A = this chain, B = another copy of it.
Amino acid sequence: MFANVYLHNNMRKPTEIRQEQIKQAVLDIIFTDGLKNLSTRMLAQRIGMSEGAIFRHFPTKQHIIVDIVNDVHKDFIGGLRKIALSKQNPPKRLEEFLCFTIKYLTDNKGITLLLFSEASHNNDVQLKQALTQIFNSQKKLLSKIILDGIAEGVWDESVPVESVAMLYMGIPVSLNIELILNSGLIDSSNFCNKMFQLMNKMLK
């Protein structure tokens, strides 16, 4: 009769849910403490499970990182691709492209730092390839939007597409610096709109 009154504070959960929890906690730790302070001990503590339990759901710590990078490729790059290849006019696509980028990165605050930090070392060849592809995909998709806009005559044909794409690549980091300095408080839709205005002007 009273058996179910007391909830166990360590109720078991299926591995799919635990994996999501772990990945979320990893990004959280990276954002607040930096990649080099990400330890499996700290990770376990933040989720509220033992360290050993983590290794029931992922074979190694590195596999967690790789899994996150794969998520980024699927969700983030996938979302950008949909926008870049849609039927809307190029300026509208550019605006959505920017807003989607900013929303994704503010919702997943550790990702910018993870991508940028991990990209810099060559220890894991497979991981580095995935990161390179993420960076190049972004540039390629944005370039497509710009080239479409030029072809349609809404933007100046003399614009250096490569350079504009490069400038865009810095936006996530500007955003991240701002997030850190303002401790996470940012008007996301306002930020994205301003960036669109600037880039649109740059292209005219």
Write the residues of chain A forming the contact surface with B, with a CB cutoff of 8 angstroms: 30-37, 113, 116-123, 132, 135-136, 160, 163-164, 166-167, 169-174, 176-178, 180-181, 194-195, 197-198, 201-202
Q: Is the CB of A135 within 8 A of B201?
A: no
**Assuming A37-B123, A116-B116, A120-B113, is B167 touching A198 (CB within 8 A)?**
yes
Residues of B within 8 A of A36 (CB): 35-36, 117
**Assuming A123-B37, A166-B178, is B32 touching A194 (CB within 8 A)?**
no
Identify 27 residue pairs between A and B in the complex whose beta-carbon atoms are under 8 Å apart, listed by A's number: A30-B120, A33-B121, A33-B122, A33-B123, A34-B117, A35-B35, A113-B116, A116-B177, A117-B117, A119-B180, A119-B181, A135-B177, A136-B181, A160-B194, A160-B198, A164-B198, A166-B174, A167-B167, A167-B170, A167-B171, A169-B173, A169-B174, A170-B170, A170-B171, A173-B173, A198-B202, A202-B202
**Assuming A34-B118, A169-B177, A170-B171, is B201 touching A163 (CB within 8 A)?**
no
Residues of B within 8 A of A118 (CB): 34
Q: How many copies does the complex hold?
A: 2
Residues of B within 8 A of A194 (CB): 160, 163
Nearest-neighbour CB distance to chain B for A52, whole angstroms, equals 23
Nearest-neighbour CB distance to chain B for A38, whole angstroms, equals 8
Nearest-neighbour CB distance to chain B for A145, whole angstroms, equals 16
Nearest-neighbour CB distance to chain B for A66, whole angstroms, equals 16
Rounded to whole angstroms, the CA-CA distance of A195 and B36 in the bound complex is 32
Q: Which of B116, B172, B178, B202 contacts A201 (CB 8 A)?
A: B202
Q: Is the CB of B113 within 8 A of A195?
A: no
Q: Is the CB of A121 within 8 A of B34?
A: yes
- Given contact pairs A34-B118, A202-B202, a sample of 16 additional A-B residue pairs in the complex whose CB atoms are under 8 Å apart: A32-B121, A33-B122, A34-B117, A34-B120, A35-B117, A37-B123, A113-B116, A113-B117, A113-B120, A116-B176, A119-B177, A120-B180, A160-B194, A163-B194, A170-B174, A173-B173
